[in-house]
Amino acid sequence: MFTSERGVVEEWLSEFKTLPETSLPHYATNLKDKSSLVSSLYKVIQEPQSELLEPVCHQLFEFYRSGEEHLLRFTLQFLPELIWCYLAVSANRNVHSSGCIEALLLGVYNLEIVDKQGHSKVLSFTIPSLSKPSVYHEPSSIGSMALTESALSQHGLSKVVYSGPHPQREMLTAQNRFEVLTFLLLCYNAALTYMPSVSLQSLCQICSRICVCGYPRQHVRKYKGVSSRIPVSSGFMVQMLTGIYFALYNGEWDLAQKALDDITYRAQLELYPEPLLVANAIKASLPHGAMKSNKEGTRCIQVEITPTSSRISRNAVTSMSIRGHRWKRHEQPDNNNDTTELGILVIPEISVTNVSGERTGNGEKGRTLGEIDAQHMQGVQETATDPRAESKGLPEIRRQKSVRKMMEDGINSPGRVQF
């Protein structure tokens, strides 16, 4: 570590001790913009023999338990590097040099497993149903889902997974080590959107190192320092994949893809089904080209949503479609009759007796069906528009109905047609 970097860390240590309570929110807001301080703190953590490591870990813990949100996130950004340093020291059987890092990890863990009242937390997660749409899938794209008896009996029921309550730990052992570290990575992943790029880069690098140390791939990656294998658990690898999945779409494509390959490599060697399932699912969803994401923009995971299908089919049978189909069938022209044009039907002359007793001449010219319909509608409208003439209009309506009925009988009875 250079003298200038050491001076930055020492100034940071002394500044917080003399800071009044009223200036704490302003100090916490401006702390994330001090890039030189962040890089110097990373170098201190990476040197287990540094004399500044213990006061740095102590101050980071003070930040975390202060209750200030920005200070809490400032400590969380160093969590991947702290986990790697602890695992590397443990693999080298030099546990005494990692005492301050172990104390910091245990302090963060014991603070996160309880709420503000001191009660144990119970985390819950509702598993989504594939039969209901979400931002990740559409049920129509999956295909037909058979409604079996068991599916109907479970309809409307949601499965909830619980995590906790977690016991408090006073020290890290080989038995509870990855239980604590897995929960710490879960807390880190919950704040991924607030983590800077340098923290995501550190996450990708330590995931690769943890998975390949002590294996032939370590020589391919050219990692030095730790040559012994670091044991990992299945749940710990799943939490690593969660952070890698976020880093893929938020500006760290190359490092995250390399880490994904290394995690898959280690999961295959360990025969862990859960990490293999998650890793293969991430690989199947990756685009062909590298994602160009703005590191300073909004952080998110990009999801391709299929367009929703129309709820009403265009070929749905309705009352209007049935009615339209009926009129089309009735209005089809007779192809055998050459004198008939489309939409016009010539009616032969018929002999009809009026209501008043007068007979129409048999020599009148044939009238079209359209003219008779027009007269019929005109007669009905005239009768309906004059309510005072209701009693007088009844014979007229009967006359129009008789005309239409006799016209239809005349078409169907060729013996009454007058040529």
215-272 pLDDT tens trace: 888 888 888 778 788 999 999 999 999 999 999 989 889 999 999 999 999 999 999 9
Assigned token pair, 11: 């100034």
Handedness of CA 325, 334, 342, 418 (dihedral sign): negative
Q: How far apart are CA 112 and CA 161, in angstroms?
A: 19
Q: Tell me the pLDDT of the chain (419 aa) as tens digits.
A: 567 788 888 889 888 888 888 888 888 888 878 889 999 999 999 887 888 999 999 999 999 988 889 999 999 999 999 999 999 888 877 666 678 899 999 999 999 988 888 888 888 877 767 667 766 666 666 655 555 545 545 555 667 888 778 888 888 888 899 999 999 999 999 999 999 999 999 999 999 999 998 888 888 888 877 878 899 999 999 999 999 999 998 988 999 999 999 999 999 999 999 999 999 999 988 876 655 554 545 455 555 555 554 444 455 555 666 666 555 555 555 544 444 444 444 444 444 444 444 444 444 444 444 455 555 455 544 444 444 444 445 555 556 666 566 666 654 444 444 44
This prediction's pTM: 0.65
Contact 89, 95 (CB under 8 A): yes
The stretches of 339-389 forming alpha helices (DSSP H) are: 369-385
SS3 353: strand
SS3 of 285-335: the string is HCCCCCCCCCCCCCCCCCCCCCCCCCCCCCCCCCHHHHHHHHHHHHCCCCC
pLDDT at residue 262, as a whole number = 94
Length of the chain: 419
In this structure, what is the dihedral angle of CA atoms 331, 333, 334, 337, given to the nearest 10 degrees? Answer: 130
Q: Are 195 and 295 in contact (CB under 8 A)?
A: no
Q: At 156, give phi and psi (nearest 5°).
A: 85, -10
Closest CA to 82 of 99, 68, 66, 63: 99
The model's pLDDT over 198-226, given as tens digits with 9 standing for 90+, comes to 999 999 999 999 999 888 888 888 887 78
